[in-house]
Amino acid sequence: MDPLSAMEEQRAYFKCAYVCFDRRRTQEGINSCVENCSLPVLTANNVVENEMAKFQELLNRSLMVCQDKFEAAKLQKMKTDATQELETSVSRSIDDSIRVLPHVVEKIKSTLVHRYTRLITAASASSLVSLRALLHIHARTIVLGVIRQPGLSHRPPRRRGSRLPRLHMQGVRRRACT
């Protein structure tokens, strides 16, 4: 994974986690939401680790075949030929592994794209309540901004307890600036 896409993935994680922090949620609800946000990151790490483990296993098996051939040749008392055969076999195994590496990278990329989009959709669905709250706050901020324009005298009625959490308002202002 290139550094740019890793940064984008981190940015998406932090944005998702930010949405989870809502004063109306319980601590358990916040923790669950943040865990859902981290699923794409954890899945990406698991995919890379699993594919690299398979690649390493393939290389190890190939090198063990070389070692077995060397041991068999050594038993037949062809020591000089055995060493040269071992070097050739190891070189061939490494070259084959290097040729396979781009395919491993492509497999990792395709798996990440497939799983990442599926998990983002699932995480977004689980955070739907938080997203709705943010959209409501964002829409309300826009309406209040339009009403407070110079020349307009109408002010919305202030209801007791309708004060919005400061955390969300800061997030809305930041998004409006970017």
Instruction: Spell out the domain ranges in the chain.
Output: 3-126, 128-178
Say if CB 62 and CB 97 are below 8 A apart. yes
Q: What is the model's pLDDT at position 22?
A: 80
Give the number of other CB atoms < 10 A from CB of residue 44: 20
d(CA 157, CA 178): 30
Q: What is the model's pLDDT at position 61?
A: 94
pLDDT per residue as tens, the chain (178 positions): 556 666 777 788 888 888 888 888 888 988 888 888 888 778 878 888 899 999 999 999 999 999 998 888 888 876 667 888 888 999 999 899 888 888 988 888 888 777 666 655 554 454 444 444 443 443 444 444 434 444 444 444 444 554 444 444 444 444 444 3
End-to-end CA distance of the chain: 26
d(CA 138, CA 86): 68
What sign does the CA torsion over 10, 12, 33, 117 have?
Answer: negative
Backbone torsion region of residue 77, taken as left when φ is above 0, otherwise alpha when ψ lies between -120 and 50, otherwise beta = left
* Structure confidence by residue, pLDDT tens digits, 15-32: 888 888 888 888 898 888
Say if CB 15 and CB 171 are below 8 A apart. no
Backbone torsion region of residue 164, taken as left when φ is above 0, otherwise alpha when ψ lies between -120 and 50, otherwise beta = beta
Q: Which two tokens stand for residue 53?
A: 């483990």
d(CA 42, CA 117): 14
